């Protein structure tokens, strides 16, 4: 009997530790817990939260309810391991809005992890059913109420003592300490997840509340339908500056653009203001800034600006099929083409509709939103572009007895696959330019990466994008521009101005103002300090953007 009781206690303790594991991991790993007081409050919040309900509920009922928190904790652990931070708004947003093609590509890589988690959850439920009694830990209601009150009181006291001990004896210091403690409480799972959901709904409600103002908004641009200029914007997905041969990379990832080097202006220091497509692209296509993000909701996009100027507008894409923010922009175009939302999509599917639109007479703005180098990289290019190997199609059995060797092996496969995807993007861009070149018309093609990618580059071992603290590999993006001979003859001052600005540091928000200048559209609200075509373009020593919780932050360069 004694052994049986000991076994039950041990199993219950193990189940409790499993529930608390995300909180314990976050206490030691989360870089967004910026002080010992915040970490202490974060830990006490987790302990207090579960202990409070443990004494109030029947034991089996508690562990069944906690099973739901265990599922949430799985995502928290994933975020901690990937980003070394507690759950962020953008990570949560990515989970709930992932498209089925993206999910399938990730599933084919990590299906064994998902199956392991499902198995763990099932084992947890079996252990609860078999070994946890369906009775209260504390017998009487009065004692349960006293215990719950005591836990709440001790938790509150710990927060107060932590704040008092941490705070300098100034009003500012006390206010800062209170903020630290509040942040510690807000960041533990599952409270953090519920606060994120509330924040997301608040952001969406705020955008919806501006819908009428946006519909009434006008740029005040006079319509001049005559003309035949073509402006092409190619938005590259997950494209980092330093893996392009034309930017000095040692591998031959962009031989076709390099062959056109005299025709192309490549900018050295272009930076994105976020590291997730949902945020990056709206800031490329609208006058919104991190300091004034509401302009995205209350004002219109570059599409409507070109329409007011008499341009025919087209949106051709193979991604963001369900992205409400980008659909709002693409729906305003005169022509819209989306490829089928299927796994293993390649950007070549965009070429035929693009070439068909080029045949249309008159002024045109064409936006191509590509998949580029989005993970899974190896499905972004056909087999003839497997230039660098082994790639992710040749995954070898991991050597669990040599973790460092396995990590280097994975890194090599990631980099090779990513570079192959860059090489295929080089081919796509060359095809786009050749298609425009054959028209013998005044035309400009601008390519910009929305954000970059982590490829296990350094000791941080960061991978993919959308990390809590964006790395320089995510923020530094390529920006190229090509102009036809006819365009350069018609506007001889443009290319010299671009070349004069190629070494300045700026953000992708220059695209909105630069496109208006490249289309020679007279807009009174044009910011000449943010246009690549103007000598007044400002070089920014510090780049400000948005972190994973949509807070203003300094971005790495």
Q: 528 versus 11: which is more confidently predicted? A: 528
pLDDT tens, residue by residue, 299-320? 999 999 999 999 999 999 999 8
What pLDDT was estimated at residue 169? 44
Q: 452 versus 31: which is more confidently predicted? A: 452
What pLDDT was estimated at residue 214? 86
β-partners of residue 230 are 364, 443
What pLDDT was estimated at residue 253? 97
User: Edge to edge, what strands does the sheet with 505-507 contain?
Assistant: 476-477, 269-271, 505-507
- Determine the Cα–Cα distance for residues 132 and 63; give it in Å rounded to an integer: 8
Cα distances from 199 to residues 112, 292, 421, in angstroms, run: 33, 18, 36
Question: Is 62 exposed, middle or buried (CB count within 10 Å of its CB: 0-12, 13-18, 19+)?
Answer: buried
What pLDDT was estimated at residue 406? 66
- Determine the Cα–Cα distance for residues 57 and 120; give it in Å rounded to an integer: 24
pLDDT tens, residue by residue, 145-172? 888 888 777 767 665 555 454 444 444 3
- Determine the Cα–Cα distance for residues 442 and 445; give it in Å rounded to an integer: 11
Across 414-437, average pLDDT: 97
Query: What domains can be seen in the chain, in order of their start residue?
Result: 2-207 (no CATH), 227-555 (3.40.720.10)
Helix (H, G, I), strand (E, B) or coil at 458: coil
Across 498-526, average pLDDT: 95
- As a whole number of angstroms, the longest Cα–Cα distance in the chain is 94
DSSP 8-state assignment for residue 545 = E
Q: What is the DSSP string of 401-456?
A: T-HHHHHHHHHHHHHHHHHHHHHHHHHHHHHHHHHHHTTTS-EEEEEEES---EES
Q: Is the peptide bond before 376 cis (omega within 30 degrees of 0)?
A: yes
Across 346-358, average pLDDT: 96
What pLDDT was estimated at residue 72? 83
- Determine the Cα–Cα distance for residues 311 and 322; give it in Å rounded to an integer: 26
- Determine the Cα–Cα distance for residues 3 and 70; give it in Å rounded to an integer: 28
- Determine the Cα–Cα distance for residues 342 and 239; give it in Å rounded to an integer: 21
Across 195-222, average pLDDT: 85
Cα distances from 508 to residues 148, 239, 307, 485, in angstroms, run: 53, 13, 22, 26
DSSP 8-state assignment for residue 136 = B
Structure tokens at 330: 């693409």
Q: 292 versus 477: which is more confidently predicted? A: 477
Question: Which residue reads 């409050």 in tokens?
Answer: 41
Across 204-209, average pLDDT: 82
Query: In percent, how much of the chain has pLDDT > 90?
Result: 48
- Determine the Cα–Cα distance for residues 522 and 302; give it in Å rounded to an integer: 13
Q: Kindly indicate the confidence band of residue 176, based on its pLDDT and cuts at 50, 70 and 90.
A: very low
CB within 8 Å of 355: residues ≥ 6 apart: 435
Q: Kindly indicate the confidence band of residue 108, based on its pLDDT and cuts at 50, 70 and 90.
A: low
Helix (H, G, I), strand (E, B) or coil at 507: strand
What pLDDT was estimated at residue 323? 83
- Determine the Cα–Cα distance for residues 386 and 420; give it in Å rounded to an integer: 6
- Determine the Cα–Cα distance for residues 129 and 135; give it in Å rounded to an integer: 12
Cβ atoms within 10 A of the Cβ of 499, count? 12
Structure tokens at 185: 């409480």
What pLDDT was estimated at residue 468? 82
What pLDDT was estimated at residue 395? 61
β-partners of residue 337 are 316
Q: 404 versus 240: which is more confidently predicted? A: 240
Question: Which residue reads 């305003």 in tokens?
Answer: 332
Question: Is 307 exposed, middle or buried (CB count within 10 Å of its CB: 0-12, 13-18, 19+)?
Answer: buried
Does pLDDT of 518 surpass 60? yes
- Determine the Cα–Cα distance for residues 15 and 21; give it in Å rounded to an integer: 10
- Determine the Cα–Cα distance for residues 418 and 243; give it in Å rounded to an integer: 9
pLDDT tens, residue by residue, 284-302? 999 999 998 888 888 999 9
Task: State the Cα angle at 287 between 286 and 289, rounded to 5°.
Answer: 110
Query: First-to-last CA distance in the chain?
Result: 65
Average pLDDT, the chain: 86
Does pLDDT of 237 surpass 90? yes
What pLDDT was estimated at residue 400? 45
- Determine the Cα–Cα distance for residues 385 and 369; give it in Å rounded to an integer: 21
Pair 446, 487: CB distance under 8 Å: no
Does pLDDT of 446 surpass 90? yes
Pair 509, 521: CB distance under 8 Å: no
What pLDDT was estimated at residue 68? 87
CB within 8 Å of 268: residues ≥ 6 apart: 247, 502, 503
What pLDDT was estimated at residue 112? 67
Helix axes 171-186, 36-56, angle to 10 degrees: 50
Question: Which residue reads 């190229």 in tokens?
Answer: 480
Does pLDDT of 401 surpass 50? no
Pair 478, 279: CB distance under 8 Å: no
Q: Kindly indicate the confidence band of residue 98, based on its pLDDT and cuts at 50, 70 and 90.
A: low
Does pLDDT of 430 surpass 60? yes
């Amino acid at each position: 009997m004694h052994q049986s009781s000991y076994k039950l206690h041990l199993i219950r303790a193990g189940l409790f530790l499993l529930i608390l594991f995300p909180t314990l991991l976050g206490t030691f790993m989360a870089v967004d817990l910026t002080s010992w007081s915040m970490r202490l409050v974060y830990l006490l919040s987790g302990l207090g939260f579960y202990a409070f309900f443990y004494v109030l509920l029947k034991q089996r009922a508690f562990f069944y309810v906690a099973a739901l928190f265990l599922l949430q904790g799985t995502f928290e652990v994933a975020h901690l391991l990937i980003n070394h931070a507690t759950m962020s708004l953008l990570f949560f947003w990515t989970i709930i809005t992932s498209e089925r093609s993206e999910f399938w590509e990730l599933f084919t890589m990590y299906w064994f992890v998902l199956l392991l988690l499902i198995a763990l959850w099932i084992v947890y439920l079996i252990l609860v059913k078999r070994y946890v009694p369906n009775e209260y830990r504390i017998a009487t209601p009065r004692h349960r109420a006293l215990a719950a009150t005591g836990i709440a009181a001790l938790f509150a006291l710990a927060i107060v003592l932590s704040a008092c001990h941490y705070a300098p004896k100034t009003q500012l210091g006390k206010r800062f300490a209170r903020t630290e403690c509040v942040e510690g409480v807000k960041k533990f799972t599952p409270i953090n997840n519920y606060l994120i959901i509330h924040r997301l709904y608040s952001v969406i409600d705020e955008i919806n509340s501006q819908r009428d103002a946006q519909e009434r908004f006008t740029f005040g641009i006079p319509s001049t339908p005559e003309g035949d200029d073509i402006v092409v914007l190619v938005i590259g997905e997950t494209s980092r500056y330093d893996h392009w041969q034309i930017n000095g990379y040692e591998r031959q990832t962009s031989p076709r653009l390099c062959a056109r080097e005299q025709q192309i202006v490549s900018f050295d220091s272009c930076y994105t203001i976020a590291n997730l497509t949902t945020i990056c692209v709206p800031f490329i296509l609208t006058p919104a800034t991190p300091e004034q993000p509401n302009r995205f909701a209350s004002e219109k996009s570059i599409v409507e600006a070109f329409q007011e100027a008499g341009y025919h507008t087209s949106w051709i894409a193979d991604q963001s099929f369900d992205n409400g923010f980008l659909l709002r922009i693409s729906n305003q175009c005169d022509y819209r083409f989306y490829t089928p939302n299927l796994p293993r999509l390649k950007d070549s599917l965009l070429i035929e509709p693009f070439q068909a639109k080029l045949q249309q007479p008159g002024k045109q703005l064409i936006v191509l939103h590509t998949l580029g180098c989005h993970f899974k990289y190896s499905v972004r290019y056909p087999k003839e572009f497997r230039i660098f190997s082994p790639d992710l199609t040749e995954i070898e059995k991991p050597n669990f007895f040599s973790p460092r060797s396995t990590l280097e092996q994975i890194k090599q496969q990631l980099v090779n696959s990513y570079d192959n995807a860059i090489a295929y993007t080089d081919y796509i861009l060359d095809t786009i330019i050749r298609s425009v070149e054959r028209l013998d018309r005044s035309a400009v093609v601008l390519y910009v990466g929305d954000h970059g990618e982590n490829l296990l580059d350094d000791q941080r071992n960061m991978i993919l994008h959308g990390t809590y603290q964006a790395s320089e590999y995510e923020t530094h993006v390529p920006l190229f521009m090509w102009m036809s001979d006819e365009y350069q003859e018609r506007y001889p001052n443009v290319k010299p101005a671009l070349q004069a600005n190629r070494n300045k540091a700026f953000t992708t928000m220059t695209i909105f103002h630069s496109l208006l200048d490249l289309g020679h559209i007279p807009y009174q609200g044009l910011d000449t300090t943010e246009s690549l075509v103007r000598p007044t373009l400002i070089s920014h020593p510090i780049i400000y953007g948005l972190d994973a919780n949509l807070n203003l932050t300094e971005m790495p360069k």
